[in-house]
Amino acid sequence: MGRLVGRIISVVALAVSTVFVLSSGTLCAQGESTAEAHANRAAEQVQAGNLETAEAELRSAVRLAPGENSYLAGLGTVLAMEKKFAESNAIFKKVLTVTPGDVTVRRYLAANLWQMHRYPEARENLEILLKQAPKDNQSRLLLGMVSENMKEYAKAAEMLASVPEQTEQQPESIVALARSYYHLNRTADARSALGKLSRFPAATNAVFLGAQIADEAGDYATAEQMLMSISPDAANHPVIGYRIALAQFHANQFDESRRTLLNLIEHNAGSREVYNLLGWCYHNQNESSKARQTFEQAIELFPTDEANYLDLLKILIAGRSFSAALRVAKQATLAFPNSAGAFELRGLAEEKVEQFTDAVNSYSQAWHLDRTRSVALLGVAQAQASAGMTKESAATFESGMKTFPQDLRFKVQYASVLLKQAETGDALAETRGENLLTSALAANPSLPAAHYELGNLAFRKGRTAEALLHLEEAEKLAPKSSEVHFALANAYRRLGRKDKSSEEMDLYQKLSGAPEAPATPEPASQSAK
């Protein structure tokens, strides 16, 4: 971003000296103490790169001539160059109250705001500027960058494409244009933009950046092609190889990704990211034993890398190796006592082996370590319910719904707990549970667990047709859920649809012993930065 700001505000030293030097163009004597002399000496110091001295000279100039806006503007500019944005902004705003049509000062203010990630304010100033000077290309470029940051991709593409000469001077602006095109489903235009990255002298870094954007957009073929275009050497070969393997993995080309990774290990020993991704390749190829061995090897080679512990835990739990998962979880929490993620997975493993009180403690520790993790608080509530801590569980669920109102899992899981209580005759619990599920589906109709619970409730109440509607929707949303297929088998049987019931029972039996599917991983994503 810094290099691009330099382009946007042009050659700042030259601009500053232009502001400072008055129409006479004559530099004053070194010892002279007039405002003009201080301003001229400031211009010299800016050109020499002595920003602190320039700032001091300009403060003297402003003190001697407080009504001279050119000195104020110069001071604001030097402060911006020193990244003292808050004070720079205050000065620029003061200048603009007197001369609101000063395009340069407003552009500098917008550039400051952009660097501070205050995008709406930056956009507001740029829109004012472009009404005054619609052909100001640097401002159009900056508005394009701001719009892309704000995910206003149509505006970003319009602005950046309108000033190709400026956009194509920096990789960051080309990448912003390409990302905008991808979000607008203009893949061909995005690829064309990314193709311009090879022009830069330090092409490797630029192409890496472009490949990352293509990968994030799901254009894996382009990402792989761009990476293949880089000439490998001893320094960059491991990074290029890993990036290629990652693009192959994202494209579900697990065998190709595995071969690329094994080649890297053979010739470059292999990094923690390489082993991590290799483990996920084996997992996605249903080679559970090799996946487990690879993660264990990664832990042995890189004992300070938390990711390999956590990913091993995920595949052990997915493969129903709960006792092994608990052993690894205990190792992980000992190795990383401040890791909320490790304690969350330990709590999950303890739940799976029905150590519910221990799970309450583990989830509580995760929540203590990181109060932003809704999963930790949700785990506390669920484990409390399983441990028979009914009042505590209810209080935690209620707290979770207030703390994380957008996380509908609190409503759905609390409803599940209440409906189990209702089976003992608690009518109030049943009403509360049904209302929570209805509320959750009103906010998001695509919640398979909510449809499943409502379907089961309707089935118990004898409303089989209603149950079938919910359960069939749950099956569409979660086709690999064994419990949904079991419930559907019962519903079809009650309706006399024996063939469908048998079909659903077959699916239940097939899935009930199969490994669970963990969330799609993003292996070692930190290496892509």
Instruction: Name the pLDDT band for 518 (thresholds 50, 70, 90).
Output: low
Angle at which helix 374-386 crosses helix 390-403, to 10 degrees, equals 160
Inter-residue long-range contacts of 74-79, CB under 8 Å, 24+ positions, other chains counted: 74/16, 74/19, 74/20, 74/39, 74/42, 74/43, 76/105, 76/108, 77/12, 77/15, 77/16, 77/19, 77/108, 78/16, 78/42, 78/46, 78/51, 78/54, 79/55
pLDDT, residue 282, reads 95
Residue 486 scores a pLDDT above 60: yes
The distance between the two most distant Cα atoms of the chain, rounded to a whole number of Å, is 104
All residues at 6 or more sequence positions from 408 whose CB lies less than 8 Å from its CB, including other chains: 440, 443, 444, 447, 450
Tens-digit pLDDT profile for residues 4-51: 554 444 434 444 444 444 333 444 444 457 888 888 888 888 888 898
How far, in Å, CA of 302 to CA of 286, rounded?
24
End-to-end CA distance of the chain: 15
What torsion do the CA atoms of 421, 427, 429, 433 make, to the nearest 10 degrees? 110
Beta strands in 288-347 (DSSP E): none
Domains of the chain, first to last: 1-129 (1.25.40.10), 232-316 (1.25.40.10), 409-512 (1.25.40.10)
What torsion do the CA atoms of 397, 398, 399, 402 make, to the nearest 10 degrees? 120
Tens-digit pLDDT profile for residues 266-289: 988 789 999 999 999 999 999 999
CB crowding 450-471: b at 16 or more within 10 Å, else e: bbbbbbbbbbeeeebebbbbbb
Using a 10 angstrom Cβ sphere, with 0-12 exposed, 13-18 middle and 19 or more buried, the burial of residue 121 is: middle
- Cβ(452)–Cβ(471) below 8 Å: yes
Instruction: Name the pLDDT band for 448 (thresholds 50, 70, 90).
Output: very high
Residue 340 scores a pLDDT above 90: yes
When mean pLDDT is compared across 191-205, 445-459, 499-513, the lowest value belongs to 191-205
- Cβ(98)–Cβ(69) below 8 Å: yes
The residue assigned the tokens 């110091």 is 45
All residues at 6 or more sequence positions from 509 whose CB lies less than 8 Å from its CB, including other chains: none
